[in-house]
Amino acid sequence: MKLVLSFLLLTTISFSALAEVDLVQVVKSERKMYLFDGSRLIREFDVALGANPKGHKQQEGDERTPEGRYQLDYIKEDSSFYRAMHVSYPNELDKQTAKERGVSPGGLIMVHGQRNRLGWLSLLSQRFNWTNGCIAITNDEMDEFLTLVPVGTVIDISWERLP
């Protein structure tokens, strides 16, 4: 049995290592993040989102995860949340909408691991939405995510699965 599990793990790692992720899709209603190489699903993660997940982020402090198409534009190694990759929110439309409402759109939306020094809570913390608008996975998953997803990759975030 142990040999079979080792083989499956090595096969999964080898398969993932050959993948070139070109799309990250987050489906907020499912609390899932999917990594794609073209139309081929490479990896799926359970995620924690903003504490108020339904709907597009409107302003700083609303605890919503933004919806729309963004880019994962840089890695942040000095994050308060283990390791992180930045989501390019707010875009120009987000900024303009917030300006019209007289509010700050907020920012520093990340895909990140667990809060530093609290990684041991990862299994429990993935069962509910606790971030201020970010997308959280476990620390081990964050290491894998950074291995598979290059800077510049598109991230689509929506309430329901896109076609």
Chunked mean pLDDT (size 10), the chain, 163 residues: 47 57 97 97 96 91 95 90 94 96 94 72 61 92 96 96 75
- Among the residues of the chain, which ranges form H helices? 2-18, 92-101, 122-125, 139-148
Spell out the domains of the chain, with CATH numbers in brackets. Answer: 21-158 (2.40.440.10)
pLDDT of residue 137: 94
* Residues recognised as catalytic: 112, 134
Q: Which two tokens stand for residue 22?
A: 């070109």
Residues 6 or more apart whose Cβ sits within 8 Å of residue 161: 25, 27, 30
pLDDT of residue 129: 81
pLDDT of residue 14: 46
Given strand 154-158, what is the order of strands in its sheet? Answer: 40-46, 32-37, 23-27, 154-158, 68-76, 84-87, 110-112, 135-136
As a whole number of angstroms, the distance between CA 145 and CA 67 comes to 20
Q: Which residues of 61-98 are buried (b: 16+ CB within 10 A; e: fewer)?
A: ebbbbbbbebbbeeeeeebebbbbbbbbbbeeebeebb
As a whole number of angstroms, the distance between CA 22 and CA 59 comes to 29
What SS3 state is found at 24?
Answer: strand
pLDDT of residue 109: 95
pLDDT of residue 126: 59
pLDDT of residue 41: 97
As a whole number of angstroms, the distance between CA 10 and CA 3 comes to 11
pLDDT of residue 62: 93
Q: What is the model's pTM?
A: 0.82
